[in-house]
Amino acid sequence: MARALMGHVGSPGQDTLAFEIARLRRRVTELEAEVTRLREGSAELDLELHRIAEASEPALA
pLDDT tens-digit readout, 43-54: 888 888 888 888
d(CA 32, CA 52): 30
Check residue 31 and report its DSSP letter: H
Question: What pLDDT, in 10s, does the model give residues 20-49?
Answer: 999 999 999 999 999 999 888 888 888 888
- 5 CB-contact burial (10 Å; exposed 0-12 / middle 13-18 / buried 19+): exposed
**Signed CA dihedral, 27, 32, 34, 35: sign only:** positive
pTM, two decimal places? 0.56
Check residue 11 and report its DSSP letter: -
